[in-house]
Chains A and B, each alone.
Chain A
């Protein structure tokens, strides 16, 4: 089974609709991230969370909100979707250790392709 899962994998919605993207992980990591990927722009950080009680805005948080329901779950919401939020969305986790040292490697889910009409 995949360590980082995202649901749904594909979603088509209309302008103004509220939508939630979900991410779950079985890696036991404390840190979770949401990114969006756009052609020619790479990945840009939307929000990140160090633990259940710690949420931080990333580079492009406007129009998005998040919820860390548990250590293993991190949801991204679009309160009122607009067409320029059409993108590929990735969840990632980090926080593993290599010996006594915390690893900074991030592990990515398979992505959610969102289309806003």
Chain B
């Protein structure tokens, strides 16, 4: 079946620290992979995506590389800011009607 496993939180970092949130997936075929971000009180917003192996998605200083050999799509940012505090969801799109399969979410808090 299809599933996503992501690093459990919560994660607390100081401003300007390096961020990694791990995500691995199980899927048949070649899924598309996504990172969504949910700011407090809001819905989910697409942060970045990759649609095939070795693609790198990037946005707002965040990056993730689609690694088929390790079935991973880890999220990284070199220097986090307080405004990055949010919940981050890894997801894959696969199957009829591009159903999404979400990870459980990782809460990030960045302190000044």
Q: B60-101 interface mask toward A, CB cutoff 8 Å, 1 = contact, 0 = none?
A: 000000000000000000000000000001000100011110
> Is there a chain B Cβ closer than 8 Å to A94's Cβ?
yes
User: Would A31 and B97 be within 8 Å (CB), given that A42-B104, A42-B105, A105-B49 are in contact?
Assistant: yes
* CB-nearest residue of chain A to B104: A42
B97:A48 contact, CB within 8 angstroms: yes
Q: A17-47 interface mask toward B, CB cutoff 8 Å, 1 = contact, 0 = none?
A: 0000000000000010101000011111100
Q: Is the interface of B mostly helix, strand, loop or mixed?
A: strand
Q: Per a CB cutoff under 8 Å, which of A40, A41, A50, A106 touches B100?
A: A106
* CB-nearest residue of chain A to B42: A110
> Is there a chain B Cβ closer than 8 Å to A80's Cβ?
no
Instruction: Tally A residues with Cβ within 8 Å of B.
Output: 25
> Is there a chain A Cβ closer than 8 Å to B45's Cβ?
yes
> Is there a chain A Cβ closer than 8 Å to B46's Cβ?
yes
Most buried by B among A44, A48, A58: A48
Q: Per a CB cutoff under 8 Å, which of B42, B45, B97, B102 touches A43?
A: B102
A90:B44 contact, CB within 8 angstroms: yes
Bound Cα distance A50, B99 (Å) = 11
**Which residues of chain B have C-beta atoms less than 8 A from A107's C-beta?**
46
Quick one: which of A69-95 are within 8 Å of B by CB? 90, 92, 94
Bound Cα distance A35, B91 (Å) = 14
A104:B104 contact, CB within 8 angstroms: no
User: Would A105 and B46 be within 8 Å (CB), given that A42-B102, A42-B104, A43-B102 are in contact?
Assistant: yes
> Is there a chain B Cβ closer than 8 Å to A56's Cβ?
yes
Closest 5 CB pairs of A and B: A108-B43, A42-B104, A104-B98, A42-B102, A108-B44
| With A105-B34, A106-B46 already in contact, 11 other A-B pairs whose C-beta atoms are closer than 8 Å | A31-B97, A33-B100, A35-B102, A41-B104, A43-B89, A43-B102, A56-B97, A106-B100, A107-B46, A108-B44, A110-B42
